[in-house]
Amino acid sequence: MKTVGLITEYNPFHNGHLYHIEKAKELTGADRVVIIMSGDYVQRGMPALLSKHHRAHMALSCGASVVIELPVCYASGSAEYFALGAVAILDGLGCIDSLCFGSECGDLEQLDRISRLLVSEPGSYRLLLQNALKSGASFPAARCLALKELTGDTSISEVMSDPNNILGIEYLKALQRLNSSIVPVTLKRQACNYHDTTLQAHMSSASAIRNTLKQLSIPQISGNFGENAINTSSQTWQLLKSQLPDEVFQILQNAWNTSCPVEPDDFSLLLKYRLLGETASSLCAYQDVSPELANRIIRCRNNFQSYEQFCELLKTKELTYSRISRSLLHILLSITKEDMALYRSTSCSYARVLGFCREHTDILRKMKEHSSIPIITKLTQTESLSPAALRMLNQTTFASDLYESVITDKFGGSFINEHQKQLIRI
């Protein structure tokens, strides 16, 4: 039995993700697919469109063997933390043969060459990086300039400007730092770009699908019950039907307006409450919050209207929207720099299973036999966790309970906490 690992968000799952699963199995010869998936929050510093349990259900319906939750501290982190947390879980399972990730360039050799330079950081690279930073370049731009000058490879600028390439490099760095035996494989991204906001013929980006979903009316919020609204909704669903596997389309339709969509602005009052209790000094304790951003938050706090509006208000040439939204999410969820330093220094981890395919329970048994990290199928199974790992799990549980509270406030229904939620079995 061969097993391939995939690191994902599935926000939401679409045809491109199905292609990724099928192609990963073909390229690696794997017959089992283990998914590490962001929970209820994603790397852009936003809540996921629909819950992790719905998204795990989608993945399992489309070929995944097991879905494991990426803890919120990593799921909402920078590319480096996101990759390190996910790869550490895959490596800790002890039974993953390969890792297949998408990239815009599709050139594993080039990505690996860059990753090795960034891990080893030779003196010549550090000097070039320092010079570029002193000239006023941002860190990503300075890193790109230093690599280009060091290698003489003019294509590095293009490679380092694409999000999946950057994430792929971070996966490779994590594999090297962990001295992992997992074999990396990259799959060239097809049909659409990561940031595309319009639908393509068959395989569109998650951004384009989320953008299209915004056209759907939400009667209980908008009050729009007219025939035009019904027609628009029907047309939008028809457009989406060609972009999603049938099982996923059904799950999304069933959840729509009953437990999703969940949007950043649904967290606006919660975030405003947190910000009102902070000072510039206290804000600096949270992950990704620099003194510059902390001072800017305090100066602009009186102009806070909503989560997304505040991100736009705080954005500058040096502070990107994603960096700001991640920082605000860390404030909301109380994820601190001290937390991240602890998690990194202790290399603590665990694998919380969200769901599995009944026909592939052999991979669950193999995980339990070979794993060097605790496997959690129930939140009461915490006796084998280190104090740091328990803190990480509790932080993730709190974040999901907060997400659930937003769902119940927006759509009604009963609050179901994380301890009450069941494994997804397909």
pLDDT value for 223: 46
Burial of 420 (0-12, 13-18, 19+ CB in 10 A): exposed
Q: Which residues of the chain have pLDDT under 70?
A: 191-197, 217-232
pLDDT value for 361: 95
Percent of the chain with pLDDT over 90: 83
pLDDT value for 226: 47
pLDDT value for 204: 87
Could you report the per-residue pLDDT of 174-186, keeping only the tens digit for each?
A: 999 999 999 999 9
Distance CA 108, CA 372 (A): 28
The correct answer on CATH 3.40.50 for the domain covering 3-106+187-191+343-425 is yes
Comparing CA positions, the residue from 21, 45, 44 lying closest to residue 33 is: 21
Rounded to 5°, angle at Cα 35 from 320 and 115: 55
Percent of the chain with pLDDT over 70: 95
pLDDT value for 224: 47
Residues 6+ positions from 344 with CB-CB distance below 8 Å: 84
Distance CA 269, CA 182 (A): 44
pLDDT value for 193: 62
pLDDT value for 203: 83
Domain with CATH 3.40.50 in the chain: 3-106+187-191+343-425
Place of tokens 């104090």: 387
Comparing CA positions, the residue from 220, 218, 242 lying closest to residue 229 is: 218
pLDDT value for 419: 95
Could you report the per-residue pLDDT of 243-253, keeping only the tens digit for each?
A: 999 999 999 99
Could you report the per-residue pLDDT of 187-227, keeping only the tens digit for each?
A: 998 765 656 667 877 788 899 999 999 888 544 444 444 45
pLDDT value for 231: 53
**By the 8 A CB rule, do 395 and 74 touch?**
no
Distance CA 32, CA 200 (A): 30
Place of tokens 């690191």: 7
Token reading at 181:
């035996």
Amino acid identity of residue 6, one-letter, is L
pLDDT value for 349: 85
pLDDT value for 220: 42
